[in-house]
Amino acid sequence: MKRLLIKGGRVITAVDDYVGDVLVEDGRIAAVGTSLEVQDVETLNAQGRLVLPGGIDVHTHLDMPFGGTTSADDFESGTVAAAFGGTTSIIDFAIQYKGQTLRDARDAWMRKAEGKAAIDYGFHMIITDLPQAVEDEMDVMVREGVTSFKLFMAYRGVLMLDDGSIFRALLRTGQNGGTICMHAENGDVIDVLVRRALAAGHTAPKYHALTRPARAEAEATYRAICLAEMAEVPLYVVHLSAHEALEKIAEARDRGLPAHAETCPQYLFLSYENYEEPGFSGAKYVMSPPLRPKGNEEALWRGLAMNDLQAVSTDHCPFCMKGQKELGKDDFSKIPNGAPGIETRMSLLFDGGVHRGRLSLNRFVEVTSTSPAKIFGLFPRKGTIAPGSDADLVIFDPERSVTLSAATLHHRVDYTPYEGRVVKGAAETVISRGEIVVKDGVFRGRAGRGEFLKRRPR
């Protein structure tokens, strides 16, 4: 039996806060207590450190084709980077292309992850085409552990579903216990604005943001809420960026509706002003939804603190500036959408949330781990520190300052949107199912050790 004792750390979950010990046996947490006496065990001293449940990032795009190129991290480099940042589980997105079965899509993404992932992973299924046979197949996916489906209200002709199809998918989750994740932006309005901007000769990166108004996000968010309300099912809005959209979620929750939403660090730490950086540099921040004007982020922080937003994920979708973002040098609409962030999430949130007094320690754990685990059928196996849970643990130094830089991060991308930013709080030792995968800045896990997470329906 492989055992590990983490001694004397300040153990934080979504509800607990005590100085104590955590005993790990065979990949799971065997016991927690204020002073555990155990013989013949490898001991990690966590004095002066926090002991946190491993981070769960429920929005990543590894090895994903987009706009004639593929996201720069595969399941190996992406999950290694995640582990360095204190994340021990991800949920990535499998894509069903038009005419494809969900099973084929799922299998294709399983093959991308197998033998490569260094931490545990699950999949949401992106549905782009919903004939009756595919609707029926949603039940099979839920039974086999792919319990959430992402639908797009934008990108007509590529990813977008019409409202009728969205409504049918929502209704289906009422029967099978799945969850619909929504990309909420009014795609048709955006397409018109993009065509008009290009016709006027506006090709710079900032026009990506100027053609995706916050109101287009708010309108789609509200429409998604109404569709889910009529279908009488919960809803999860991905990468909520604008305070106008947050108002719709808050209003729905005030009416008692099970409307959930995540935001991402980029919307908490960056702003529209980044698109105005000189030359083509604004392309670093081309993502959808786009960064919003300065000041917007305070509403999102409040939303996180008040539980109108339940999770912080990354939407890690990295493209190198060289050879990838450059595809849109003369046309912002050809810049691959997305940015890296899988490794920087926990430190950013800790610094901007806990150190700045916007989030309590418990709330920090809740939005980075516990609540995503609950919403997506992983709790209590993941998302907490309790006997029987997987030993996914982070020994976190709350006082260590780190300067974020592409030169020292482990993702396979030639920039970080946070270059030069100093953050206080960093993962020191990272444990995945009882195995030390990162210690003292060294990766000690191996590619392929990550397991597929078969998730539970609601």
- Does residue 74 bind Zn ion (CB under 5 A)? no
> Among candidates 67, 60, 52, 64, which has minimal Cα distance to 81?
60
Q: Does residue 262 belong to the site contacting Zn ion (CB under 5 A)?
A: no
Cβ-closest residue to Zn ion?
315
CB of 166 to Zn ion, least distance (A): 17
* Residue 432 C-beta: closest distance to Zn ion, Å: 24
Residue number with CB closer to Zn ion (315 or 366): 315
Nearer to Zn ion, 93 or 222 (CB): 93
Measured CA to CA, the distance from residue 3 to residue 30 in angstroms comes to 9
User: What letter represents residue 424's amino acid?
Assistant: K
Among the residue ranges 200-208, 229-237, 313-321, 387-395, the one whose residues contact Zn ion (CB under 5 A) = 313-321
**Complex with Zn ion: residue 12 or 82, whichever CB lies closer:** 82
Q: How many CB atoms lie within 10 A of CB 332?
A: 25
Contact 153, 223 (CB under 8 A): yes
Residue 335, CB half-sphere, CA atoms under 13 Å: how many? 32
Size of the site for Zn ion (CB under 5 A): 1
Cβ proximity to Zn ion: between 51 and 169 the closer is: 169
DSSP E strands in 322-444: the ranges are: 393-403, 422-432, 435-439, 442-443
Q: By CB under 5 A, is residue 217 in contact with Zn ion?
A: no
Backbone angles phi, psi at 174, to 5 degrees: -65, -30
- The residue (of 6 and 237) whose beta carbon lies closer to Zn ion is 237
Helices then strands, each counted (H, E), the chain: 13, 19
Among residues 185 and 315, whose Cβ is nearest to Zn ion?
Answer: 315
Beta strand 65-66 with 235-237 is: unpaired
Alpha helices (H) along 146-210: 163-176, 187-199, 206-210
Q: Which is nearer to Zn ion, 30 or 58 (CB)?
A: 58
Angstrom distances, CA of residue 91 to CA of 291, 301, 454 = 23, 23, 11
137 contributes a contact to Zn ion by CB under 5 A? no
Q: Looking at the chain, how many residues does it have?
A: 458
Binding segment toward Zn ion, per CB under 5 A, in 127-135, 217-225, 249-257, 309-317: 309-317
- For residue 63, state whether it binds Zn ion (rule: CB under 5 A): no
Min dist CB 299 to Zn ion, Å, is 21
Whole-number minimum distance, CB 228 to Zn ion, in Å? 19
308: left (phi over 0), alpha (psi -120 to 50) or beta: alpha
Taking CB under 5 A as the criterion, the residue among 217, 315, 366, 428 binding Zn ion is: 315
Residue 25 binds to Zn ion (criterion: CB under 5 A):
no
Name, in order, each residue with C-beta under 8 angstroms of 350's C-beta and a sequence gap of 6 or more: 364, 396, 398, 423, 424, 425
Of 185 and 390, nearer to Zn ion (C-beta) is 185
Least distance CB 171 / Zn ion (angstroms): 24
Stretch that binds Zn ion, among 27-35, 96-104, 189-197, 310-318 (CB under 5 A): 310-318
Minimum CB separation of residue 322 from Zn ion in Å reads 22
User: Alpha carbon 64 to chain centroid distance?
Assistant: 15
- Residues of span 195-214 touching Zn ion by CB under 5 A: none
Q: Which residues bind Zn ion (CB under 5 A)?
A: 315
